[in-house]
């Protein structure tokens, strides 16, 4: 018992946890401000610090708790005709992605996460968006891809964010759409790691430390949404994505 406590104490007060906390602050600010950012920032950071099998479950549990907090206001403002089919299809494909998480080599998967985030960040910085219509079949296709990514890497965001940010809606609607989607997909995403035995005492200890940091950062980021112009915040947020993806890819 004492050995377990010593290991948890070393985990909580180690340098790795300091890095995780700093990454959590940045992700929380971005999530509160833009409605996304938790997974695309923390998946490569946590996977690099703790390994893919240990880092992804922490991030998924955190995403669930954060989404529940932000859901009530977002549900009212979101375009449910578009978001609900995306989330429903993601439910169906996520188990296949979870199988990939267990079957793939952790190092290869971590680098794949880094490469995905790096490409995603570069696309956002370039200003590219999908500008076509949003028929049901396309909503479901995007949702299917998002579910596969969520199960395998903890990240469902890249295809959905590029897709949902394409419209001409105001920033408030974009933000609500993203919050609603992430809340829908977060509920089912934790099942695979729990059933697969990836959630243990160490996972809970890491969550206990990082979750309060995330909650506070999200609140601050939400306030920034009403204060900081998007033209100033967006370049910083995109640079963070590129940096976090590069760390996971090349470390």
Go through 41-58 and write b for each residue having 16 or more CB atoms within 10 A of its CB, e for each that does not: bbbbbbbbbbebbbbbbb
Residue 93 pLDDT > 60, yes or no? yes
Residue 36 pLDDT > 80, yes or no? no
**pLDDT at site 225:** 79
- Mind listing the pLDDT tens digit for each residue in 196-220? 888 988 899 899 999 999 999 989 9
Share of the chain above pLDDT 70, in %: 84
Confidence of residue 1 (pLDDT cuts 50, 70, 90): low
**pLDDT at site 227:** 81
Residue 4 pLDDT > 60, yes or no? no
Nearest to 229 by CA among 8, 18, 53, 34: 34
Nearest to 53 by CA among 200, 208, 240, 214: 200
Q: Residue 80: count other Cβ atoms within 10 Å of its Cβ.
A: 14
- Mind listing the pLDDT tens digit for each residue in 24-34? 998 898 888 87
Q: Which has more pLDDT, 177 or 172?
A: 177
Nearest to 103 by CA among 14, 192, 9: 192
CA distance linking residue 116 with residue 249, whole number of Å: 9
Q: Which has more pLDDT, 115 or 140?
A: 140
Segment 162-168 mean pLDDT: 72
Task: Identify the H or E element spanning 182.
Answer: helix 171-189
CA distance linking residue 40 with residue 117, whole number of Å: 6
CA distance linking residue 81 with residue 28, whole number of Å: 28
- Mind listing the pLDDT tens digit for each residue in 214-247? 999 989 988 887 787 766 655 666 676 677 667 6
């Amino acid at each position: 018992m004492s050995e377990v406590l010593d290991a948890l104490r070393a985990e909580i007060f180690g340098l790795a946890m300091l890095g995780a906390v700093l990454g959590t602050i940045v992700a929380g600010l971005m999530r509160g401000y833009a409605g996304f950012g938790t997974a695309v920032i923390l998946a490569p950071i946590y996977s690099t610090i703790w390994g893919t099998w240990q880092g992804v479950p922490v991030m998924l549990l955190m995403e669930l708790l954060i989404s529940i907090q932000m859901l009530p206001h977002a549900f009212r403002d979101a375009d449910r005709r578009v978001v609900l089919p995306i989330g429903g299809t993601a439910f169906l494909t996520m188990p296949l992605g979870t199988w990939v998480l267990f079957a793939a080599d952790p190092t290869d998967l971590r680098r794949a996460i880094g490469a995905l985030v790096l490409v995603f960040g570069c696309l956002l910085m370039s200003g590219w968006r999908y500008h076509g219509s949003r028929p049901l079949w396309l909503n479901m296709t995007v949702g299917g891809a998002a579910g596969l990514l969520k199960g395998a890497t903890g990240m469902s965001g890249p295809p959905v964010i590029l897709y949902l940010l394409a419209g001409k809606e105001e920033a408030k609607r974009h933000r609500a759409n993203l919050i609603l989607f992430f809340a829908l997909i977060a509920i089912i995403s934790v099942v695979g790691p729990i059933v697969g035995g990836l959630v243990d005492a160490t996972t809970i200890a890491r969550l206990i430390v990082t979750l309060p940091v995330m909650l506070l950062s999200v609140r601050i980021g939400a306030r920034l949404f009403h204060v900081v112009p998007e033209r100033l915040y967006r370049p910083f947020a995109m640079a963070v994505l590129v940096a976090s993806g590069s760390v996971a890819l090349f470390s």
